Amino acid sequence: MATKTFEVKNYKTALGDRMTGSAGGQAINFRGYIICSGDDGYHLAIYFLNPSSPVPSPTYLENYKRGVIYLPFSQMQIYLDLLRNEKPIYCYLNSNRPEWNSIRTTNEPIGEEES
C-alpha cells in the first residue's frame, strides 16, 4: 500500500462550459478542475463533472505522483473556499483506497482566524 500526504504549495483552477477528457478509458465531461501541487512533483487533480458525465473511480498513480478524484460541479465552490480560506492544506493520496484521496487541514483551535 502506498500513501502520500503533502502540503499544498499552490493550486490552479479552470472553468469552462463543455470541457472533455478521458479517464479509465471512458469519456468525461466537466465544467471545472482544481489541481493542487506540492513539493517533489506531487499533485491531486479534482475534476468537477457535468451531471450527465460518467463518474470514474478515483486513482493514485504512485509512479506519476498523481492522484485524481471526480466530483459533481456543484461541489467546486466548497473546495475553492477551503483552499482560499484555510492554511495549511494537505492532500492525502492512497493507492489501495483511492476513494480516500482528499484535501484536508490539521487540528485547529476553535475560533482561529486565518491571518
Judge whether 35 and 45 are in contact, CB under 8 Å. yes
Q: Is residue 67 part of a domain?
A: yes
Residue 113 domain-assigned (yes or no): no
The phi-psi region of residue 111 (left if phi > 0; otherwise alpha if psi is between -120 and 50; otherwise beta) is: left
Residue 100 located in a structural domain: yes
Per-residue pLDDT of 56-105, as tens digits, reads 999 999 999 999 999 999 999 999 999 999 999 999 999 999 999 999 99
Q: What is the pLDDT of residue 37?
A: 98
pTM: 0.91
Max CA distance (Å), the chain: 46
Q: Is residue 112 part of a domain?
A: no
Number of domains in the chain: 1
State the DSSP code for 52.
T
- pLDDT tens digits along 10-66: 999 999 988 999 998 899 999 999 999 998 999 999 999 999 999 999 999 999 999
The answer to whether residue 109 is domain-embedded is: no
Domain coverage including residue 75: 3-104
Q: For residue 56, tell me if it sits in a domain.
A: yes
In a domain, 40, yes or no: yes
